[in-house]
Amino acid sequence: MEKSFLTFESRFECGNLRKAIQVRQFEYDLILSPDINTVSNLQWFYFRVANVESGVDYRFNIINCEKPGSQYTSGMQPLLFSVREALEGRPYWIRAGTRVNYYRNHFNRLSVGKSSADGATYYTATFQIRFPHTGDVCYLAYHYPYTYTRLLTDIARWQEQANGSHSDPVYFRVQSLTTSVLENPVPVLTITSARTNEESRQQASPDSVTTAKPQYRPYIFLTARVHSGEANSSWVIQGLLDHLLSDHPSAVQARQQFIFKIVPMLNPDGVICGNHRCSMAGKDLNRRWSNPSLFNHPTIYHTKKLLHLLHACDRSPFIFIDFHGHSRMKNIFLYGCSPFESWKNPDTDNPTYRGPGLGEDPSYRHLASILDEIAPAFAKRSCLYVVNKSKETTARVAVWREFGVVRSYTIEASYCGVTRFAGQPADSNSSDKTAPFVDGHQMNPFHLKSFGAQLIDAFIRLPSHTDRLAIRDLMTNVPDAPAQFILEGGPEFTGEPSDISFAQPPLCSSLHSRPGSPSIDSACSLPSTISPGSSAHSLSSHSSLSARLSRSTSSRSSISLTDG
């Protein structure tokens, strides 16, 4: 007798589903796993469904969501990946689902360390899915997955791209900033132009701020994926790097004008294990920037150490951006820091405040204005510059205060979509939380990657008269440090940790399985035929990293992976 029920699986990289309960013939209640070492942060889901029938409307109810609001009530749909479609040449994630809704249910929320006497309950995200093929194997996800495996694959591709033929030679270096709690290497990328002094002088226009000495170029420091479920931030970084390493004139100018330091995944453990927000320590890493622990928050600790090194060399970044995803608002927008919108009154302990009666340095507002002009998905009207007390320990505010970075931002990309596109005027009377959804304008990786490329264009447009003087000041008022010290981070980053190279199969065996899960190897394995998380890649270590990696990883056969 054939099975009359669906089968579920989530024990693969980024997967999250704890339990499925069949409540009717074609309806299932689903329970998500909380972030490891917590009882909360229930939002990200990613699981496999098998034994499906076509022509049937299956209803899925995720009954332990936490947030009181969701874009599921404003037109957002979950993501569907069909293995059958992939085998037939269409390996794409698609928005799918009808009768999508989000509402408060009657299940009491589990609370630790807080009173639950207020009767707080969970919320239900519900949707119907009609699968395209009988007997198909499909994946459902909250957003387009971007795995740690995919990041390593992309890094190998970026290395090849940088090594290719370029009109402007590219300096591209990948290093391991540190290892995570589960001993996964955390890559940091350094990108700039590799032109010689004389070549740079010949290429620079009379009005250009390009410097002939690479070690004097100002820094742009970018981080992403501190919250593991915010995969949209990784797609923005991918698009930014694809463009930055190209021969496009804006990319060439950006490389000649700046040094880019990029930490593309601050929370690889959370990404691998399917967490939504926290690290293995059960903590929100974006609330640990004031005093990160070397042992519990090593990725934040070492990222901050690198920023401290630059600051000690009088090379604090010209721009710092931490990329995030937003679940309750549309569009892409940013948060900055204004001393006149701060919880402190007066707020003088920051680089933006000019002094009594002198106001503030307004240059931090320029980026939003430029992006509003050139990026269709960006909404300046959604940008805020408030510094709340609760945000003092976030990257944006800590970097602003401690390292004197006037242009310190958080950039948020909606999981859902946009309320305006080029040629469509913004409705100043509508709220981004309730504005009518524009049909067909749900964002996908193409839109997110396009925004990453548009950011590069914005960076080179930033130097208005005021910002141009700031850049030139950064160039001239720096110690005459060796180029290698400035580019590579100084002595503490030239030996330990060592560079990342790519020669062996992907390794994920440091993934800790959830309670009740099978062994580590099976928990981190991906489907043997086609899996939608990333592409096949290889990883190996050498020098001082090899010993640590040999303890934390074991060989695994190469996996064929496809992503849309």
Any alpha helices (H) in 428-563, and if so which ranges? 445-461, 465-476, 483-488, 520-524, 545-552
Tokens of 551: 């303890």
**Tens of pLDDT, residue by residue, the chain (564 residues):** 356 899 999 999 999 999 999 999 999 999 999 999 999 999 999 999 999 999 999 999 999 999 999 999 989 999 999 999 999 999 999 999 999 999 999 999 876 555 444 568 999 999 999 999 999 999 999 999 999 999 999 999 999 999 987 788 999 999 999 999 999 999 999 999 998 545 655 555 544 555 547 778 999 999 999 999 999 999 999 999 999 999 999 999 999 999 999 999 999 999 999 999 999 999 999 999 999 999 999 999 999 999 999 999 999 999 999 999 999 899 999 999 999 999 998 898 889 888 887 888 999 999 999 999 999 999 999 999 999 999 999 999 999 999 999 999 999 999 999 886 544 554 444 444 444 445 458 999 999 999 999 999 999 999 753 555 555 555 555 544 444 544 554 333 333 333 333 222 223 333 333 433 332 222 222 333 344 443 333 333 333 333 333 333 332 222 222 233
Cβ within 8 Å of residue 18, ≥6 positions away:
10, 31, 32, 33, 514
CB 478, CB 313: distance < 8 Å: yes
Residues 463-480 have pLDDT tens digits of 753 555 555 555 555 544
Task: Tell me the whole-structure pTM to 2 decimals.
Answer: 0.82
Q: What is the pLDDT of residue 2?
A: 58
pLDDT at 110: 76
Distance CA 498, CA 338 (A): 38
So what's the pLDDT on residue 357?
A: 78
Q: How far apart are CA 556 and CA 14, in angstroms?
A: 17
**In the chain, which segments carry CATH 2.60.40.3120?**
7-141
pLDDT in tens, 132-151: 999 999 999 999 999 999 99
Q: Which amino acid is at 170?
A: V
Amino acid at 394: T
Location of each CATH 3.40.630.10 domain in the chain: 148-493
E-strand spans in 249-290?
259-263
Specify the pairing of strand 219-224 against strand 319-326.
parallel
Tell me the C-alpha distance between 425 and 444, whole Å: 21
- pLDDT given for residue 118 in this prediction: 53
Residues in the chain: 564
Annotate 371-393 with DSSP letters as a single string. Answer: HHHH-TTB-GGG-B--B-GGGTT
Cβ neighbour number for residue 24 with a 10 Å cutoff: 8
Predicted local confidence at residue 408, as pLDDT: 98
Residue 561 forms beta bridges with which residues?
531
How far is Cα 293 from Cα 280, in angstroms, rounded to an integer?
A: 13
Please confirm, yes or no, whether 412 is among the known catalytic residues.
yes
Cβ count within 10 A of residue 248: 15
Assign a CATH topology to domain 7-141: Immunoglobulin-like (2.60.40)
pLDDT at 215: 73
CATH of the domain spanning 148-493: 3.40.630.10
Given 360, 412, 492, 496, the catalytic residue: 412
Strands (E), 328-463: 332-335, 353-355, 359-360, 408-414
